[in-house]
Structure 1
Amino acid sequence: MKESPMKIMIIGASGTVGSAVADVLSRQHEVIRVGRTHGDEQVDITSQASVEALFAKTGKVDAIVSATGGVFFGPLASMTDEDFNQGLQDKLLGQIRLALTGQHYLNDAGSITLISGIIAQEPIVQGVNAATVNAALEGFVRAAACELPRGIRINLISPTVLSESAKAYEDFFPGFESVAAATVANAFRRSVEGIQTGRIYTVGY
């Protein structure tokens, strides 16, 4: 069954995953590409004012997709609360800001799709902040799915290390199988065009 065209906002659309998601979804839908400095629109997800300004400008959408968010990598022994707060403000609260604000700009039966990663289940060296943030995002999505009104759905994509960046990070992910960004993008499509909510879609593990 062919999907009716949707208006979809993709935050992080210039990144490796985000660009793959935009390529897949733009085949059938209207896509608004959003980045920190590139794209159709710009946003700083660490700023509530910036997130509010983005949605006020773009108006109602059918789906919000996030493929963005930074975390802190470093040894636990020297980590400070300021280091740890980087991931909390960016990948965790940044995506939660998108969901909390964006829910009011979604059409009925719209959807939100966020991103975490394998480190929530498989910790790696210097990845304490990333593991915490990813696990917290999973909890948020499961709980938010129980309360979102008007048939709005929310899911999370959790990929393993990307094939496109596996060589650069192989010392941190020894023995991990990688997955292509195009495969991860199909999981986003499943979330956006599907019917499920509160799901954690793992990709490559």
Structure 2
Amino acid sequence: MKVLVIGASGTVGSAVVAALVDRHEVVRVGREHGDFRVDITSDDSVEGMFKAVGPLDAIVSTTGSLFFGPLATMRPADFNIGLQDKLLGQVRVALLGQHMLREGGSITLTTGIVAEEPIRQGANATAVNASIEGFVRAAAIELPRNLRINAVSPTVLTESKGVYGPFFPGFESVPATRVAMAYVRSVEGPQTGRVYQVWQ
């Protein structure tokens, strides 16, 4: 299969590429690094990327920015960061990317444990991740041509615990290599409309 991975140079994206590259043709995409560049907040950028890459069998998104900060001082513009980037950015990838997929192709988006387990300073992250999961469940019943869509919801990564650990007191971390297996399941498996939780 020809698999496009957006965010391929990140911690999760690199692990996904490593898990797929021996069996598939993997196209690495990122904002600054990769075989192709993309800004997921721009229709033109996403459409241009898909046009350059050509027909695909699978699209994987492991990217998206969020805003973390106290609710008491959060402004609408702060909240909008996650809406425009991780939420609408990944929805944009799915909406535009569906037309580049061959029969039976798949889309895999990324959410996170805070969709169901909120943390302090994470109101934007919880709202955005929960919205992505709702989109995946709804899109799965409408996609044509046997196309599939799923999401992967990891907990805090072992590799990132030094930075994000204080936001996740008492949470067990998981290594990126384990998280990558959920993306493999989505790309190579038969299921659709699923949220694969990798929480421990």
Give the TM-score band, short-chain normalised. Answer: over 0.9
Moved runs in structure 1, 4+ residues, more than 4 A? none
Which amino acid in 2 is paired with 1:72? F
- Residues 83-141 of structure 1, C-alpha deviations (whole Å, 9 max, x = no match): 01000000000000000000000000000000000001111110000000000000000
Partner of 1:70: 65
The residue number in structure 1 matching 2:197 is: 202
Aligned to 1:108: 103
Aligned to 1:142: 137
Distance 1:27 1:114 in 2: 22
Identify the residue that residue 90 of structure 1 maps to in structure 2. Answer: 85
Instruction: Read off the aligned partner of 2:120 and give its amino acid letter.
Output: V
Alpha-carbon separation, structure 2, partners of 1:17 and 1:81: 29
Gaps spanning 5+ residues in structure 2: where? none
1:13 matched to 2:8? The reply is yes
- Residue deviations 1:23-48 (CA, integer Å, cap 9, x gap): 11001000000000000000000111
TM-score by length of 1: 0.97
- Partner residue in 2 for 1:30: 25
Partner of 2:43: 48
Identity score, percent:
65
CA-CA distance at 1:168 after TM superposition: 1.7
| Among candidates 145, 150, 170, match of residue 155 of structure 1 | 150
C-alpha displacement of 1:167 = 2.0
Superposed counterparts of 1:173-188, under 5 Å: 173-188=168-183
Secondary structure, aligned partner of 1:73: coil
State the aligned residue count: 200
Unaligned runs of 5+ in 1: 1-5
The one-letter amino acid paired with 1:50 is S
Q: TM-score, structure 2 length as denominator? A: 0.99
SS in 2 for 1:170: helix
Which residue of structure 2 lines up, in the alignment, with residue 59 of structure 1? 54
State the alpha-carbon separation in 2 of the partners of residues 172 and 58 from structure 1. 38
Q: Shift of residue 152 of structure 1?
A: 0.2
Shift of 1:196: 0.2
State the match for 2:187 in structure 1: 192
Aligned residue type for 1:128: A
